């Protein structure tokens, strides 16, 4: 059995990263937290992290593994390579990249990590902040048997389900992108249905109750349309995240010369919402692109 990791640096303590980091602390791992947000660092420190910092170089020699939970490939490249972190990690350190990125980006990142004798697991995650907090994320990962073996304690701590998609880096990223096609379309169609209900003067809390107890429900409808009913668009996941993710879906389809009529429409809906100034609001704010309706908590 490969030497399993004992100490892990978690880069990106947002809603998912914080949950994953705390789950690793609870599982008895030595956790080092890295984020630009000092409030997040303080929260993780008080929870029991070994150390926290704005700069991963402060303890890079202590780490057996790094979990990268940032937003996009640009940020992944920045935290691993622009900072000099990859160059300062011990050879054989395993890097778990859990951002939603393209398969091509994942392969490029692996190449650069190899130059520093580092091992990569292409490991996007799903489940939202709530599942991250309880250590019940779903991880769809690809990489070497060695990477999976070394990271076993981290995977056990953070996930209820780990799918091994294969050895090739990029397969995990692709499965996540296909999943995001569904997630984005479900939010968009949920918003369309609730907008129609508003237009028909059906109380939205009633419509929500009906759908969540009937066959048209989805996890995304149940989770996100509750925000619409409550009139609360404080971002758990932002409109602009789905602009990014559905663009990754579109890029993947373009590469495969494959038509995606529904996700193309959903992407345009999220683009409209971002263009109208709702990009930093919760992704359920895509409903605000519909005119001629009154929504709870939204002033016309």
Residues in the chain: 300
| Nearest CA-CA partner of 130 in 236, 285, 11, 36 | 236
Q: Name the percent of the chain in helix, strand, coil, to the closest 5.
A: 55, 15, 30
| Nearest CA-CA partner of 83 in 38, 116, 111 | 116
- Cβ 127 vs Cβ 100: under 8 Å: no
Please list the active-site residues: 176
Q: 246: which residues sit within 8 A by CB, 6+ positions away?
A: 180, 181, 184, 263, 266, 267, 270
Residue located via tokens 């030595």: 30
Maximum pairwise Cα distance, the chain: 63
| Nearest CA-CA partner of 151 in 33, 251, 65 | 65
User: From CA 207, how far away is CA 224, in angstroms rounded?
Assistant: 14
User: From CA 216, how far away is CA 214, in angstroms rounded?
Assistant: 6
DSSP 8-class letter at 81: I
DSSP count for the chain of H helices, then E strands: 13, 9
| Nearest CA-CA partner of 195 in 207, 177, 186, 182 | 207
* Beta-carbon-side half-sphere exposure of residue 244 (alpha carbons within 13 Å): 16
Q: Please, what is the end-to-end C-alpha distance for the chain in angstroms?
A: 62
């Amino acid at each position: 059995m490969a030497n399993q990791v004992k100490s892990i640096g978690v880069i990106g303590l947002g809603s998912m990263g914080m949950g994953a980091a705390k789950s690793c602390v609870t599982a008895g791992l030595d956790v080092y937290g890295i984020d630009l947000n000092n409030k997040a660092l303080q929260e993780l420190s008080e929870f029991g992290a070994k150390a926290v910092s704005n700069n991963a170089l402060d303890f890079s020699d202590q780490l057996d593994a790094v979990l990268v939970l940032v937003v996009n490939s640009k940020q992944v490249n920045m935290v691993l390579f622009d900072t000099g972190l990859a160059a300062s990690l011990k050879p054989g350190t395993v890097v778990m990249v859990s951002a939603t990125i393209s398969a091509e980006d994942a392969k490029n990142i692996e190449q650069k990590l190899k130059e520093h004798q580092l091992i990569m697991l292409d490991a996007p995650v799903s489940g939202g902040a709530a599942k991250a907090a309880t250590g019940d994320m779903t991880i769809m990962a690809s990489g070497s048997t060695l990477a999976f073996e070394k990271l076993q304690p981290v995977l056990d701590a953070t996930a209820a389900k780990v799918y091994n998609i294969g050895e090739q880096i990029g397969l995990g990223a692709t499965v996540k992108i296909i999943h995001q096609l569904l997630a984005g379309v479900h939010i968009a169609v949920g918003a369309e249905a609730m907008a129609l209900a508003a237009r028909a003067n059906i109380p939205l809390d009633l419509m929500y109750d009906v759908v969540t107890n009937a066959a048209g429900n989805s996890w995304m409808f149940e989770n996100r349309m509750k925000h619409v009913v409550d009139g609360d668009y404080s971002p758990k996941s932002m409109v602009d995240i789905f602009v990014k993710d559905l663009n990754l879906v579109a890029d993947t389809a373009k590469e495969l010369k494959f038509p995606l009529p529904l996700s193309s429409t959903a992407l345009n809906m999220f683009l409209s919402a971002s263009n109208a100034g709702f990009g930093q609001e919760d992704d359920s704010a895509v409903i605000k692109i519909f005119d001629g309706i009154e929504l709870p908590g939204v002033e016309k």
